[in-house]
Amino acid sequence: MNQIRISLEVAAALREKRPVVALESTITSSLGLPAPYNRECYDRVEAAIRAEGAVPAVTGILDGSLIAGAEPSDVERLLTATRKVAERDLPIALAQGAPTAVTTVSASVAIAARVGIRVFATGGIGGVHRGAAESFDISSDLGAIARHPVLVVSAGAKAFLDLAKTLEYLETLSVPVIGYETDEFPAFWSRTSGLKVPARLDSPRDIAVAAHAATISGWGGGMLIANPIPFTDEIPASEIAAAIEKGLAAAAASGATGAAVTPKILAAIAAATESRSIPANLALAESNARLAAKIAAALLD
């Protein structure tokens, strides 16, 4: 029978009411970052969480079971996985007894909620794609955040998305969006987008208080905590915007649509920024993990 497998360390932390932070496994696989940067990302994110006294719980699928927390022998399998699953894919992957699969934001949030982990850290969430009025291309990440009572810490949404419509859709779903020490919604590689966040909070404790208040008010879903990339690692929004336009043009010229557009945009950004996008990815993932750990600890105070 398919089941959820919780690592010994994560199970002990949950039982003893110590802080735990869930992590997606896509960003730390070769599907998210090229080797050896995916391994560096895994190590840095895990170290940041542990430095704040919390326990990391990477999610995924191994041997036909959902996992929350990787045993040491599992890590290499997740780093080299070639199958990626979102929340909608979980039933089929489990029914098929998938040997190895990494989880996106939506699947990871679902697993975290299932085992009682309240905080999840990622790089950036998906959102409403440009041209969604015709394509209806909207990431399942947004619906997952609305359905599951998990605080999602990210550097906003991917910069090549329609960020204004992403915020509008989150409002439609009633998802609270909080800017951490910022009045603007961050744009992943860039600290600013020109779009104001609905609320700003400046400490992990304040975010924990808001999370408790959400529960009291009857909100059964999650919250998005938008944490800007560190100043020293930011790539200016104007520089990213030009690269995105080149990527969109390349995608249109090749006839790429849907998910096939994203690799074209990422390749254009990497070329335009002389690969500074990879160090930026690492820095923001580490920063989000650190903040998530602080929030997880504050929730237990």
Question: Which DSSP string do the residues of 82-140 spell out, in sequence order?
Answer: --EE-GGGHHHHHHTT-SEEEE-HHHHHHHHHHHT--EEE-S-B--BPTTHHHH--B-H
**Tally: H helices and E strands in the chain:** 12, 11
Count CA within 13 A, CB hemisphere, residue 183. 1
For residues 234, 121, 37, 104, the Cα torsion angle rounded to the nearest 10 degrees is -120
In the residue annotation, 264 being an active-site residue is answered as: no
* Model confidence pLDDT, tens digit, residues 213-267: 999 999 999 999 999 999 999 998 888 888 888 887 887 788 877 667 777 777 7
Domains of the chain, by residue range, sit at 4-235+276-299
At residue 297, the pLDDT reads: 98
- Considering the candidates 46, 52, 158, 294, report the single residue annotated as catalytic: 158
Write out the CATH class of domain 4-235+276-299. Answer: alpha beta
Q: Is 269 helix (H, G, I), strand (E, B) or coil?
A: helix
* Model confidence pLDDT, tens digit, residues 168-195: 999 999 999 999 999 999 999 999 999 9
CA 109 from chain centre, in angstroms, equals 9
Residue 191 and residue 229 in contact, taking contact as beta carbons nearer than 8 Å: yes
End-to-end CA distance of the chain: 37
At residue 259, the pLDDT reads: 65
Q: How confident is the model at residue 286 (pLDDT cuts 50, 70, 90)?
A: very high
Q: Which two tokens stand for residue 1?
A: 């029978």
In the residue annotation, 84 being an active-site residue is answered as: no
Q: How confident is the model at residue 135 (pLDDT cuts 50, 70, 90)?
A: confident
- Considering the candidates 24, 46, 87, 184, report the single residue annotated as catalytic: 24
Instruction: For the chain, give the percent of residues with pLDDT over 90.
Output: 80
Backbone φ and ψ of 282, nearest 5°: -65, -45
Backbone φ and ψ of 101, nearest 5°: -155, 145
Q: Is 161 helix (H, G, I), strand (E, B) or coil?
A: coil
For residues 33, 39, 41, 43, the Cα torsion angle rounded to the nearest 10 degrees is 170
* Model confidence pLDDT, tens digit, residues 90-115: 999 999 999 999 999 999 999 999 99
* Residue 34, number of CB atoms within 10 A of its CB: 10
Residue 87 and residue 144 in contact, taking contact as beta carbons nearer than 8 Å: yes
Question: Distance between CA atoms of 293 and 50, rounded to whole angstroms?
Answer: 8
pTM, rounded to two decimals: 0.95
* Model confidence pLDDT, tens digit, residues 31-44: 999 999 999 999 99
Question: Distance between CA atoms of 36 and 24, rounded to whole angstroms?
Answer: 18
